Amino acid sequence: MSFLGIAQSLTGRRWIGPTTEIDRLAEAMAQTTDLPRALCQILARRGVEPQEAESFLTPQIRDLLPDPRGLKDMEAAAQRFLLAVQRGERIAIFADYDVDGGSSAALLIDWLRQMGRAATLYVPDRIDEGYGPNDAAMAELASTHDLIICVDCGTLSHGPVAAAKDADVVILDHHLGGETLPEAVAVVNPNRQDEDGALAHLCAAAVVFLMLVEAGRQLREAGQKGPDLMAMLDLVALATVADVAPLIGVNRAFVRQGLRVMARRERPGLVALADAARLDRPPAAYHLGFVLGPRVNAGGRIGQADLGARLLSTDNPAEARALADRLEELNRERRDVEAQVRAAALDQAEARGLDAPLVWAAGDGWHPGVVGIVASRLKEAANRPAIVIGFDGDEGKGSGRSISGVDLGASIQKLAAEGLLIKGGGHKMAAGLTVARDQLDAAMARLSELLDKQGAGAAGAADLRLDGLLMPGAATPELIDQIDGAGPFGAGASAPRYVFSDMQISFAKRIGESHLKLRFGDGMGASLEAISFAAFDGPLGPVLSEHGGARFHLAGRLEINHWGGRQSVQLRLEDAARA
């Protein structure tokens, strides 16, 4: 049944409110804990019991950190790593070109630097080398190094690991593993097929962090001391959010603590990046995913692949500023390239239909560095798994993004095993693939079939899930602070959305090219400001700006607006319906 009877809002969505069971649990929690009802609604939705509310609102690393030795090969990985440190061996780090890979590499480089050791950083070029280790690069690194540590990659790299015959290889990864593993000293990966899946939600940087925790334990047993790992959680937080890892369990604690570390502005690369992005407040999880993350990624997408990792690992403020400025420039270029591909891909996907189990598009010359971002946009538009592929000749490189409950990585891997893809892999929410042009239609048809079996075609493309009703007078900074205690919000833990019912718009103005700023109230004196980004790209802007005195139900997420040194509550408006 639709919430407030809204079966079709201004943007064409059905509104879905909390279930009767969630309402009942929230009311019981509010009575037993004295917490605000709006906060209890969120906790009940997250499955938190009343007696767990206090500990959930104050997650502690020490309570949630898993024993690293619970992961297979972990002790061997840490032992080999420490042996290289103690012997002064030559260490190379082979990292993926995204935020998770760069953060993982930076964790190791920072730790080694504090121990008086250095490492060679190698990040493959997205276009020339593609994802993960390759034979030539691994053989070259092995000829001049004793130990190669592959981070955020390597689990499926049997040939390249074998090519590194003159060095030992340790793999710290989180991508879905195959039936067999490369012949490495250690393959630490919570998504190995022989793992139980309890830590499958970890990103690669979190796996690297756990390896450093185990290394610290082994050092202490030997009467030695390692670096302060808690000070490195800013990197783990950045990677966790940017890699869209679900914010559950220890991931939630990693991000909470990592944001506190980041607020101290001690890491030159992140300070320079925040300054280049004109971020004038301590970052929140949103900024990691949508402000800092895309800038770190820009080098790997359309520029020099190792820029992000170098920025995150440098201890030189001047070098950090130069790298951040270059990434800022590349990010602007990336946005222009993305906009062109996005428009073409959306037209193609819409023509094909956005209600299929899989939404996909492919085109010649589409830059491989932006296909993943465009896939995310298609996924958001259709609430379906999405694949976007750029072809260069007869071979296409693509990237996919999934929705909650649909394992895209496993399906892509199955396609590769069936011979419909040249190669492919990933994890539940994101995957990459390479496909021959003459296999494209067959591969997409088969992938759609596999995803349909997981329920990808059953999700309501036009559903907006809401947490309840609020009045403008109740939307206070204190309430937002309390709600933030249930965060951070992101993948697997969506931020709460509220409806302000039967509101009167007193002010509406177009700002920039397509955004809408407005003020609304309940007619009893209380009012609230709202911002709706890209509102004039759809129906919200035209209808609400020309409201003619009509009243509306307004839905969105509450936030603190920082402007001119002052703070105020505003609604980030996502949808509306006529009252």
How far, in Å, CA of 406 to CA of 346, rounded? 22
Residue 258 near residue 289, CB atoms below 8 Å: no
Question: pLDDT digit string (tens) for 371-422?
Answer: 999 999 999 888 899 999 999 999 999 999 998 889 999 999 999 999 999 9
Q: Residue 412 sits in a domain of what CATH number?
A: 3.10.310.30
| CB count in 10 Å sphere of residue 355 | 11
Domain finish residue from 453, 480, 510: 453
Establish if 150 belongs to a structural domain.
yes
Task: Give the per-residue pLDDT at 42.
Answer: 93
C-alpha distances in Å from residue 120, one per residue of 313, 321, 349: 12, 22, 43
How far, in Å, CA of 408 to CA of 447, rounded? 9
Do 506 and 446 belong to one domain? no
Establish if 221 belongs to a structural domain.
yes
How far, in Å, CA of 466 to CA of 497, rounded? 5
How far, in Å, CA of 123 to CA of 130, rounded? 10
Structure tokens given for 426:
């990933």
Residue type, position 359, single letter: V
Q: Residue 555 sits in a domain of what CATH number?
A: 2.40.50.460
Q: What is the DSSP string of 371-435?
A: HHHHHHHHHHHHTS-EEEEEEETTEEEEEEE--TT--HHHHHHHHHHTTSSSEEEE-SSEEEEEE
Establish if 335 belongs to a structural domain.
no
Do 77 and 52 belong to one domain? no
Cα angle value 25/31/37 (rounded, 5°): 65
Provide the residue range defining the domain that includes 25: 18-57
Task: Give the per-residue pLDDT at 461.
Answer: 55
Do 104 and 225 belong to one domain? yes
Q: Where is 91: in which H helix or E strand?
A: strand 91-95
| CB count in 10 Å sphere of residue 204 | 34
Q: Facing residues of 425 across strands?
A: 432
118-142: b or e for each residue (b if 16 or more CB lie within 10 Å)?
A: ebebbbbebeeeebbbbeebbbebb
Do 91 and 190 belong to one domain? yes
Strands 91-95 and 147-151: parallel
Establish if 486 belongs to a structural domain.
yes
Domain finish residue from 57, 81, 105: 57
Do 71 and 148 belong to one domain? yes
Q: Facing residues of 151 across strands?
A: 95, 172
R_g of the chain, CA atoms, integer Å: 24
Closest by CA to 116, choosing from 153, 91, 134, is: 91
Do 135 and 210 belong to one domain? yes
C-alpha distances in Å from residue 334, one per residue of 235, 301, 360, 512, 546: 23, 7, 21, 21, 35
Structure tokens given for 553:
């139900």
How far, in Å, CA of 463 to CA of 481, rounded? 27
Tokens 């009012």 belong to: 527
Do 51 and 83 belong to one domain? no
Establish if 337 belongs to a structural domain.
no
Strands 498-511 and 515-521: antiparallel
145 CB-near residues (< 8 Å, 6+ apart): 89, 90, 91, 92, 120, 167
- Low-confidence spans in the chain with pLDDT less than 50: none
Establish if 293 belongs to a structural domain.
yes
Task: Give the per-residue pLDDT at 460.
Answer: 60
Do 532 and 551 belong to one domain? yes
Residue 486 near residue 29, CB atoms below 8 Å: no
| CB count in 10 Å sphere of residue 282 | 13
Do 418 and 477 belong to one domain? no
Task: Give the per-residue pLDDT at 303.
Answer: 81
Number of domains present in the structure of the chain: 4
Task: Give the per-residue pLDDT at 33.
Answer: 92
C-alpha distances in Å from residue 148, one per residue of 153, 165, 203, 211, 432: 12, 11, 20, 15, 24
Q: Facing residues of 93 across strands?
A: 121, 149
Residue 148 near residue 261, CB atoms below 8 Å: no
Task: Give the per-residue pLDDT at 462.
Answer: 62
How far, in Å, CA of 569 to CA of 572, rounded? 10
Q: How many residues does the chain have?
A: 579
Do 184 and 323 belong to one domain? yes
Do 302 and 370 belong to one domain? no
C-alpha distances in Å from residue 105, one per residue of 66, 94, 132, 439, 518: 22, 8, 14, 36, 44
Residue 147 near residue 119, CB atoms below 8 Å: no
Task: Give the per-residue pLDDT at 353.
Answer: 87
Domain finish residue from 6, 40, 57: 57
What do you get for the CA distance between the two ends of the chain, in Å? 17
Q: Facing residues of 397 across strands?
A: 390, 434
Question: pLDDT digit string (tens) for 209-247?
Answer: 999 999 999 999 999 999 999 999 999 999 999 998 999
Do 27 and 77 belong to one domain? no
399 CB-near residues (< 8 Å, 6+ apart): 368, 371, 372, 375, 387, 388, 430, 431, 432, 433
Establish if 532 belongs to a structural domain.
yes
Task: Give the per-residue pLDDT at 392.
Answer: 93
3-state SS, 142-176, equals HHHCCEEEEECCCCCCHHHHHHCCCCEEEEECCCC
Write down the pTM of the prediction.
0.88
Strands 386-392 and 395-401: antiparallel
Q: Where is 556: in which H helix or E strand?
A: strand 551-563
Establish if 340 belongs to a structural domain.
no
